[in-house]
Amino acid sequence: MGERSLSTGCGLVEVDDAIELAGVTLPARDDVLDEAYERLFRYGPEFDGWLSNHGPMVVEVLERNHRPDAISAWLDRYTRRLEAAPSPRWTIDRDE
């Protein structure tokens, strides 16, 4: 079975064909991920002092599993828990 195939009672169906047959319109894959990454960019890599921000990985998994429609709502809930990205503490000289 191919990476983008679904097993149905009638055999294998390509995911894109199934989506088209269902009449579903999905945003372009890159647009969904780009928007999600832009939303996550303003938050730090950790929250609650020590927990890792796994937001980027989750949105990739949702997109990869053909659920781009779930990304925005998931981010709405998840980002409430996140802390703002830390401010830069020093600059790195070009020579370094």
Nearest to 16 by CA among 60, 26, 8: 26
| Per-residue model confidence (pLDDT) at position 1 | 45
| Per-residue model confidence (pLDDT) at position 12 | 54
| Per-residue model confidence (pLDDT) at position 10 | 53
DSSP characters for 26-77? ---HHHHHHHHHHHHHTB-SEETTTEE--HHHHHHHHHHTT-GGGHHHHHHH
Could you list the pLDDT tens digit for every one of the 96 residues in the chain?
445 544 455 555 565 665 666 666 655 667 899 999 999 999 999 888 889 999 999 999 999 999 999 999 999 999 999 999 888 888 888 887
Euclidean distance between CA atoms 13 and 17, whole angstroms:
7
| Per-residue model confidence (pLDDT) at position 52 | 94
Tokens 């055999």 correspond to what residue? 11
CB 82 within 8 A of CB 55: yes
Nearest to 34 by CA among 60, 13, 9, 8: 60
| Per-residue model confidence (pLDDT) at position 91 | 84
Residue 56 φ/ψ, nearest 5 degrees: -60, -40
